[in-house]
Structure formats: C-alpha cells, structure tokens
Structure 1
Amino acid sequence: MQAYVYKSQRKQDTYVYLAARDAFDAIPDALKATLAPFAFVLEVALTPDRRLALADVDQVRANLAERGFHLQMPPPPVPPVRVPRRDDPR
C-alpha cells in the first residue's frame, strides 16, 4: 500500500497520510481548515513489516483503507525531570 505524507503548515509536527496523492477531499472539512495548507513530504510503501517513527503501520494502513487518510499528531511533551538539590529535604 502506498501512502503520501503531507506536513501541516499550521500545526507543528502534524502530518497527514493520504491513500492517494493530493486526495485532500478524504480529510473532513473542519480538520482540513485547522491544518491546511499542506506541504508534500514523501511517498512511502506501507508494508506490514515497515517501521514508522511515530505511528503504528497497521493503524495507518487501516485508517487509509477505511477513511483514505491518517492523522499523525506530535507526541505529548515530556515532563521536566526534577533534580533535587542537596539541601532539599525531599
């Protein structure tokens, strides 16, 4: 299965995978209004053994087959690590 990946120009680290190149009609209008414009990033073959950095390939493939698109949001922020001071009683 081929996927076409686009980066949102409005939301940092947000990507949309499409089942067909430039098939933006698959994206709901409200979501499109929030994320568009899009910049093409890459075309990728989504085989079952393919590994993706921030998404589960099986979920992406299922969403593309069912909806025609998959939305990849940025990961949640990591909370800062608290380093206790020597004079801190905790």
Structure 2
Amino acid sequence: MICAVYKSSVKPETYLYVPKNGDFSQVPEPLLKMFGTPIFVMALPFVKVEKLALADIDTVKNDIEEKGFYLQLPPPTENLLEQHKKALGMEE
C-alpha cells in the first residue's frame, strides 16, 4: 500500500494521509475547508516503512482503509510555566 501525504496550508504541523495522490473524495468537506489547500509532501510506501515519527503506523493504515484518510494533528504544546510551578510545588 502506498499513500500520499499532504501538509495543511493553514494549520501548522497538520498532515492528511490519503490512499492516492490527489484523491480527497473520502475526506469530509468541512475538514478540507479547515485544512486549507493541501500541499503534497511525499508518497509513503507502507511496505518499506515500519514506523512513523508522530503517528502510529497501524492506526494510519487502518484509518486509510476504513475511512479513506488519516488526519495527523500537531502534538499538544507544552506549558513550561505550569511544569515549572509543579516542579516548585506551586500547583493550584
């Protein structure tokens, strides 16, 4: 299986995986509007890939097969002030 990976033109660190290059037919219209213009990043051959950096490869494969796409959102931002307060025992 090969899929195409696109990054969002408006949402940083947001990626959309679809089964074929340019095939957004299974992606809901509201999601495409929020995503902005898809910018092609790469073709990803699952046969040669065992692990992805920020997504579980089995989840990606399953979502593409079942839903027709996978949406990768950015990791949550760290609140360094809250972490520092916790370290100092100043939790609210």
TM-score range, shorter chain: 0.7 to 0.9
Letter matched to residue 76 of structure 1 = P
Please identify, of 72-81 and 10-19, the stretch whose mean Cα deviation from structure 2 is larger.
Answer: 72-81
Aligned positions, number? 87
Unpaired runs of 5+ in structure 2?
Answer: none
Alpha-carbon distance in structure 1 between the residues aligned to 2:19 and 2:32 = 16
1:25-64 to structure 2, matched below 5 A, reads 25-47=25-47, 50-64=50-64
Q: Which is helix-richer, 1 or 2?
A: 2
1:82 corresponds to which of 64, 73, 84: 84
Please identify, of 42-51 and 7-16, the stretch whose mean Cα deviation from structure 2 is larger.
Answer: 42-51
Structure 1 contact 4–44 (Cα < 8 Å) conserved: yes
Deviation, 1:49, is: 5.9
TM-score (norm 1): 0.86
TM-score (norm 2): 0.84
Indicate the SS of the match to 2:10.
coil
Deviation, 1:47, is: 3.5
Alpha-carbon distance in structure 2 between the residues aligned to 1:34 and 1:14 = 11
Runs of 4+ in 1 over 6 A off after TM superposition: none
Unpaired runs of 5+ in structure 1?
Answer: none
Identity among equivalent positions (%) equals: 34
Rg larger for: 1
Deviation, 1:48, is: 8.6
Letter matched to residue 8 of structure 2 = S
